[in-house]
Structure 1
Amino acid sequence: MSQKEYLMSLGYDEIREIDPDGMIEDVLRFPEMCRDAFTPIVKEGREFEKIAVVGMGGSGIGGDMLESYLRYKSNYPVLVNKNYDLPKAIDEKTLLFVISYSGNTEETLSSFKEGIERGCEVLAISSNGELKKIANKKDISLLEVPGGIQPRAGFPYLFLPMVATLEEMGVLEVDGFDRAISNLEKLKNRLNPSVDEDNFAKKIAGFLKGSIPVIYSYDELSPVAYRWKCQLNENSKMFSIMNEFPELNHNEVVGWDYKLTRDFKIVVLKEKDPIEKMQKKIEVTGQVLDVEFKEVEVLGDSLISKLMTGVFIGDLVSVYLATLNEVDPTPVRRIDNIKERLYD
């Protein structure tokens, strides 16, 4: 059987042989999770002048998405912190979202305690752990999300409550959420494992097999490209690169002269109708690099739909690619090994 034939024949049974912990089931629950996750942490709070988000890994990507979502919708600056210490600009006039799915992330707990000391308006999201204990002790509002899944698979619970909270506070108006859910359901019907020939998520996985994936995008979709990269790292167990237009046209394109790039393949994440200047940059870059690349269109006319459908497609690609690579998408042994060596 050729790789293409095997790829198109990938059904639930074949995937479960590689994926005994059921990552594919968690990924396919994405539309349902999104619907369930749009819940505010609180309905009101004190006045603030800026917003900050702290979180790491699968719990931290929500901060990148929030910054992107608010970039052209709100006057509030958004700072994303993925470190032990908070930037100096975060103070008592800051609404600070603290996100740790496990509740035990070392860097996040450090920033959490510092945010409390600085007098920030702190709101937390977690499933359990030390974060929950401290929040309860300090009387800090915490949204407890469902446990029992990998943090990266629970992305809707780690992003959408922040959006719902800010809407409840009057910071923004969320446009098109119901249509976003509808678009996610359509994608689920089109891209689930039982769909063969017309399943473009499987086709993208086949395209990337055996390569170093390079994920490009632009502007508000750039965090989606970063999510793809991280899912390819953790689920597919592949090294991956991410960058964004137009910045990559001012530096990274020169690096494609190096011979190792012969193993690179590009996926460009884009809207159906990007602005003319951006579409031209994408086309000309492909011509100049003279490398095969695929374009993947996100769905919807609202930003929330574009972000969430882009994430959903990438998550499915990563699990299909894990199956092609014959690796279990769930374990992250190198991450676990680093933690063991640090804390033993």
Structure 2
Amino acid sequence: MDKLVAQFPKQIADAIEIASRSDLSFYKNKTFNNVVICGMGGSGIGGKMVSQLFADQSSLPIVLVQSYSVPSFVNEHSLVIGSSYSGNTEETLTAVKMANEKGATIVGVSSGGEMARFCKENHYDFIKLPGGNPPRSMLAFSAVQLINILAVAGIIDTNAIDTIAKCRHLLNDELITIKDEAKKLAKHLFKKQCMFYTDADLEFVAIRARQQINENSKRLCWHHVIPEMNHNELVGWAGGDNSFAAVFFISQFLTDRNIKRTELSQEIIGGKTENILSIHGRGKSLIEESFYFIHIIDWASLFLADMNEVDAVEVKVIDYLKGTLDKA
């Protein structure tokens, strides 16, 4: 897993190369009213990332589905993207097949499996990813393909991929800082009940942190966003103590009100635990900043796995669940 995390900047370049070679025709003579991205776990986080990062430039609503069905509004004017790294994710395949029955236009993104077969049989565009790795380690590949699909269709800026390309240079230039921040984060979380906070526009960063600590570090944790947490979870900190560790991913692009809300939230939480860590974003855009945060998170989850003396790759409980469902 260490090698895969280290390759994250290179994966961005490799993913862009795959996108550049993709011969897509799904958008021709089509009028779309909405976009639905279907994906779970390590594939789903790419959909969440894209739907949030490009919300301000998308000409259409982008909805992420993480269940067995698609919304009732899906019809012949919907673009549905099935993102499943293995190509065999039960929930995603079921949702995509439902979208097919509703007449939606479908694009598949996977390393093969049933998704590839389904797209071939139904003459849908399909983008093949390199296979054989844990889905959570392939975020760059899935996210870049989603961005390219939306850009090609003119739903987001057609130069969006160029913006993503800059992220690789940032991650390489900031590698020493990224690893230092990751080590601080892992140490901060060690033997603590951890929770992650971002502003609402970067919720996918907090979700990524939760998922990576769950899978790689084998620890329970949770996340919330500002300003929503100011209306509920902040009160829950009345029961907080030093067994809890809070982490704030602080964007350079916060609104003035959310800057103030973050400061006040930290002050209030600081009255219950001394374990508060702020990680400040770097980069010239929200997109660059988000990749910076994610690289810190991924490294931290591995450092914490070592501290917890667990195997970052192992996910036997998920394999057991899937195997049992297959027999049901």
Task: Answer yes or no: same fold by TM over 0.5.
Answer: yes
Cα shift readout 1:137-187 (whole Å, capped 9, x = no counterpart): 111111000011100000111111111222222222226333322111123
Aligned runs of 1:74-85 on 2, under 5 Å?
A: 74-85=58-69
The TM-score, its normalising length taken from structure 2, stands at 0.92
- Which 5+ residue runs of structure 2 have no aligned equivalent? none
Residue 311 of structure 1 aligns to a residue whose secondary structure is helix
Cα shift readout 1:61-82 (whole Å, capped 9, x = no counterpart): 1111111022211231011111
Out of 226, 242, 250, the position equivalent to 2:231 is 250
The residue that corresponds to 2:284 in the other structure is 301
The structural deviation recorded for 1:304 is: 1.9
2:313 is equivalent to residue 330 of structure 1: yes
Cα shift readout 1:56-107 (whole Å, capped 9, x = no counterpart): 1111111111110222112310111111111101211111110111111111
The residue that corresponds to 1:5 in the other structure is none
AA of the residue aligned to 1:267: V
2:4 is equivalent to residue 34 of structure 1: no
The residue that corresponds to 1:281 in the other structure is 261
Contact 1:42 1:165 (C-alpha < 8 Å) held by counterparts? no
Alpha-carbon distance in structure 2 between the residues aligned to 1:43 and 1:306: 29
AA of the residue aligned to 1:330: V
The structural deviation recorded for 1:136 is: 1.2
Residue 310 of structure 2 aligns to a residue whose secondary structure is coil
The residue that corresponds to 1:60 in the other structure is 44
Deviates more, 1:163-172 or 1:215-224: 163-172
The structural deviation recorded for 1:315 is: 0.6
Residue 238 of structure 2 aligns to a residue whose secondary structure is coil
- Which 5+ residue runs of structure 1 have no aligned equivalent? 1-22, 193-198
The residue that corresponds to 1:187 in the other structure is 174
Instruction: Give the aligned length.
Output: 315
Residue 257 of structure 1 aligns to a residue whose secondary structure is helix
Cα shift readout 1:167-208 (whole Å, capped 9, x = no counterpart): 22222222633332211112334445xxxxxx1211110011
**In 2 relative to 1, CA 185–341 (structure 1 residues): closer, same or farther, beyond 3 Å?**
same
Alpha-carbon distance in structure 2 between the residues aligned to 1:329 and 1:263: 23
| Percent identity between the two aligned chains | 30
Alpha-carbon distance in structure 2 between the residues aligned to 1:160 and 1:258: 41
Contact 2:12 2:165 (C-alpha < 8 Å) held by counterparts? no
Greater relative CO, 1 or 2 (CA 8 Å, sep 6+) = 1
The residue that corresponds to 1:138 in the other structure is 122
Alpha-carbon distance in structure 2 between the residues aligned to 1:145 and 1:283: 42
Deviates more, 1:162-171 or 1:99-108: 162-171
The TM-score, its normalising length taken from structure 1, stands at 0.87
Contact 2:178 2:295 (C-alpha < 8 Å) held by counterparts? no
Alpha-carbon distance in structure 2 between the residues aligned to 1:321 and 1:202: 8
The structural deviation recorded for 1:332 is: 0.9
2:209 is equivalent to residue 228 of structure 1: yes
